[in-house]
Amino acid sequence: MMKFLPFLFFIFSTPFCFSQSAIQLNGTGGNVTLCHDDNFLIGEGFTIEAWVFADEWKSEFWQGSIVNKDRHVTADNEGYALRAGQNGTLSFVIATGSAWPEVVSDPIMNTNQWYHIAGVYNAGTASLYINGAFVNSAPIPGTPSPNVTSPLTIGDSPGWPGRVFNGLVDEVRIWNVARTAQEIADHTTTTFTGTEAGLVAYLPMDEGTGTTTANLADDN
């Protein structure tokens, strides 16, 4: 049975609706938020997956927030962000104190087309996948800095509000393990139950209407 959670909600400045069992983000401030959970912090292994359909790309890749938990505090940075923009460039950035090391793809995604995207952190290396295929990796020097304050936000940045995604986002999955390349490739279109080992957030966005959506991995 699907359950609706009081702490998971949409914030919007103008009305928007679901389309094709996905959340429609209007590019001007709409987002989905999940309250902080320690399971959303990057450990030795971490994976973010989502399906995205961009109505337009922002001019810079860091402007199009897809799944973010980022924050800047005085001289330090905390958290991470999976984002896209700049003619279809995908980025996964991870804070390590005073730095924001990241991995970036070439500008290979189009507007008005669905893509499965994934960012994986595995013991000091960040990797990107598009439609189940590996596209790039980069070292992440240092230890990821935890962000225990900001909510996990889909479609905007909690640390830099206004870095918004314009388009559809669906099937958001967060794992506290590093998914392998084979697992990502084999399960881009898999419908999960939310009880899978390591799955700490799963938002299939299947409600079709309303202002709340279910995290099927909650309380597992």
For 197-218, give the DSSP string.
Answer: TTEEEEE-----SSS----TTT
Cα(68)–Cα(75) distance, integer angstroms? 20
Q: Is 204 left (phi over 0), alpha (psi -120 to 50) or beta?
A: alpha
**What phi and psi, each to the nearest 5 degrees, are found at residue 63?**
-85, -15
Question: What confidence tens digit (pLDDT) does each residue in 127-143 have?
Answer: 999 999 999 999 999 99
**Predicted structure pTM score:** 0.89
- The C-alpha atoms of residue 208 and residue 120 are separated, in whole angstroms, by 29
For residue 1, pLDDT beyond 70: no
Given a contact cutoff of 8 angstroms between Cβ atoms, the answer to whether 130 and 184 are in contact is no
Confidence of residue 21 (pLDDT cuts 50, 70, 90): confident
Decide: 22 and 53 in contact? Cβ < 8 Å: yes
- Produce one character per residue of 91-111: b if its CB has 16 or more CB atoms within 10 Å, e if not: bbbbbbeeebbbbbbeeebee
- Per-residue pLDDT of 139-174, as tens digits, reads 999 999 999 999 999 999 999 999 999 999 999 999
The pLDDT, as a whole number, for residue 219 is 62
Least confident of 9-18, 32-41, 86-95, 140-149: 9-18
Q: What is the DSSP letter of 192?
A: P
Tens-digit pLDDT profile for residues 43-89? 999 999 999 999 999 999 999 999 999 998 877 899 999 999 999 99
